[in-house]
Chains A and B, each alone.
Chain A
C-alpha cells in the first residue's frame, strides 16, 4: 500500500466518521428538542407582528396558476369516502361537535347557504413551490357562531376522510386562525366544485400558513381544549411526524 492510497483511505475514513457523527447529532432527540423552541419563537413573533386581522395577499384572475399541483392524498381509497363520492356527496353531512353548545350536521347545500367568502390566494407547499387559486367557501367563524363554542374550546380540529400512509389525515388550528376572515371551508375552486385531488367536497383554507394545514376531504370538525388526545397528539398528520404545528413559515 503506497502512501497515496493510505492517505486517501484515511481521509475517507475520517470523512465518513464525521459525516456519520454529524448525522447522529443532527437527528438526536436532545438536539431536536432544542431546535424546536424556534417554532415557539416564530409563532410568538409572527403573532405579535402580524396582528389578528391582517390578510394574506390576494391576487387577480390573471394570476391563477394553470397547473395547481395536488399533494398528499390525491385519490382517497377509503370505502366510506368513495361511497359518498359515487353518490355526489348527496348523503354526506359535515359534523360539527366537541366543545360546542349546539352540535351540527350540515349538508353541502346548507354549507353553501352560510355566509361565504371568495378569495384568490397563494398556496405554499412546505416543499417550496407555490400555486395560486380561487377559493369560495363558508366562513369558519359563521359555522362556529352557529354551533356556539364553549368557553373552554381552544382549538378546532379537522378530521379528514382520507387515509394517508397508515392513519387518517387531520389538522388543527387555534381560535385566532379559526376566526380569521380568510379562513373558509372551501367547496369551490377556480369557479367549479373542488375536485377529488384537491379535497372534494370540502377543504380548509387557512391562508397565513403552509399547505399541509389546508386539510382536504373534511368530514368532521371538533372543538377541543387540548390537542393531546388526538391522533399522535401533535395536532396534525404531518405534525405527528415532526413538522411544526405553527406553519406560518
Chain B
C-alpha cells in the first residue's frame, strides 16, 4: 500500500491516487489500436481461405472449421454455412455469404468486420496486418521488458501462490468490485486473467503468426514442432484471436461495472479516484 492509498484509507473522502504508469498507459492504448486493426485485417486474410486444419499441411476434405457459400441455381441467391467439426449451421447474411450494397458476397466474415471494409481485399488486408504486427510486437516487447525490469509485472500482475490458493474467495468472481484503497490494486482473478493474456495468449498469437512465415520457418524450425505444423499454427492463431476478443468483452464489462469514467480516466491520466467504501463513509 502506498502512502497515498494509506491516506485514502484514513480519510473518508474521494482521493486521487497514482494508478498506472505513463509507459503502461501508452502500451495499453497502442495495443488497443493494434489489436483492433490486427483483428479486422486478420479476418480479411482468413477470408482468402475460410477453412482451418490441423497438422503440417491442408487436408482440404477435413477442415475442423470452415465458412462457405452455396449459390442458388440462377445465382441470384446465396446461402452461407459455418462448420465446426461435423456440425453445420446456416449462417446466411453473416458468415459464409453476406450482402454488400444489396449484392450477395461469397465471403467468410462479412465486409463490415474486415479491414479494409467492404469487398474482399487480401492485398491490403496483408499490408494492414503485417504493419500492425510490427507495432504490436515492438509495443509488447517494450511492455514486457520494462515491466520485468521495473518489477511491475512481478509485483502487481503475476499472481502469488497465495493468490492462486484464495482465487475462489475473490469477490470479483461474484462481480463485487472493491471500493476504497483496495480498488487501487489487482485482485486474484484479475492477476490470473492479465497474466494469462500477457504471458501466454499474446506471446502465442505472435509466435504462431511467425510460424506461418515460410522465411522464419528456415530460421526457427522448432516453432513448427512446438505448434504441430504450419496449419496447426494457423488454427491456434485464429483460436487465440477469438480468446482475445472474449477477454476484451469481459474486460470491458468489468470496466463498465466498476465505474467506467474512473477506470478509463485512470488509464488515460494515470490517476484513479479512490471512492470510500460504505463503512468508511459512515464511520
A interface residues with partner B (beta carbon < 8 Å) = 15, 19-20, 22-23, 26-27, 32, 34-39, 41-42, 46, 49-51, 54-57, 59, 63, 65, 67, 69, 122, 124-132, 207-210, 241-244, 248-249
Contacts and interface: CB of A to CB of B under 8 A. Distances in A.
Interface stretch (B79-87, B125-133, B177-185, B254-262): B125-133
Contacts of B124: 26-27, 32, 35, 242
A130 to B, nearest CB: 5
Given A26-B128, A38-B134, A243-B126, 12 more contacts: A20-B117, A23-B117, A26-B116, A27-B116, A50-B219, A56-B214, A59-B56, A67-B61, A69-B58, A128-B234, A207-B214, A249-B130
16 contacts: A19-B112, A26-B117, A32-B127, A38-B127, A46-B219, A50-B216, A63-B57, A65-B58, A129-B53, A129-B231, A130-B56, A207-B214, A208-B217, A209-B214, A242-B127, A243-B123
B131 A128 contact: no
Interface in B212-246: 212-219, 221, 224, 230-231, 234
B250 to A, nearest CB: 25
A22 B216 contact: no
A38 B130 contact: yes
Contacts of B115: 22, 26
Interface in B104-128: 112, 115-118, 121-124, 126-128
A248 B126 contact: no
Given A38-B134, A243-B126, A46 B215 contact: yes
A208 B123 contact: no
Contacts of A249: 130, 212-216
A236 to B, nearest CB: 13
Contacts of B130: 35, 38-39, 42, 244, 249
A192 to B, nearest CB: 19
B143 interface: no
B112 to A, nearest CB: 6
B49 interface: yes
Nearest to A37: B131
A122 B213 CA distance: 12
Interface in B22-81: 45-46, 48-49, 51, 53, 56-61
Contacts, number: 131
A210 B215 CA distance: 9
Contacts of A22: 115-117
- Which 9 A-B pairs give the minimum distances between C-beta atoms? A248-B215, A26-B116, A249-B213, A38-B131, A127-B48, A128-B49, A35-B127, A129-B58, A127-B49
Contact of A50 (B121, B215, B234): B215
A37 B112 CA distance: 26
Given A26-B128, A51-B219, A207-B214, A130 B123 contact: no
Contacts of A42: 130, 134
Interface residues of B, number: 41
A76 B44 CA distance: 29
A173 to B, nearest CB: 13
The residue in B213, B217, B218, B234 that gathers the most chain A C-beta atoms within 10 A of its C-beta is B218
B214 A126 contact: no
A41 B230 CA distance: 23
A206 to B, nearest CB: 9
Contact of B56 (A23, A32, A132): A132
A101 B247 CA distance: 62
A248 B118 CA distance: 27
A179 B233 CA distance: 29
Nearest to A121: B214
B115 to A, nearest CB: 6
Nearest to A41: B134
B233 to A, nearest CB: 10
Contacts of B126: 126, 243-244
Nearest to A131: B57
B200 to A, nearest CB: 23
Contacts of A127: 48-49, 122
Contacts of B116: 22-23, 26-27
Contacts of A65: 57-59
B24 to A, nearest CB: 25
A135 to B, nearest CB: 14
Contacts of A57: 217-218, 221, 224
B219 A54 contact: yes
B58 A126 contact: no
Contacts of A20: 117
A242 B126 CA distance: 10
B163 to A, nearest CB: 38
A128 B121 contact: no
Interface in B169-228: 212-219, 221, 224
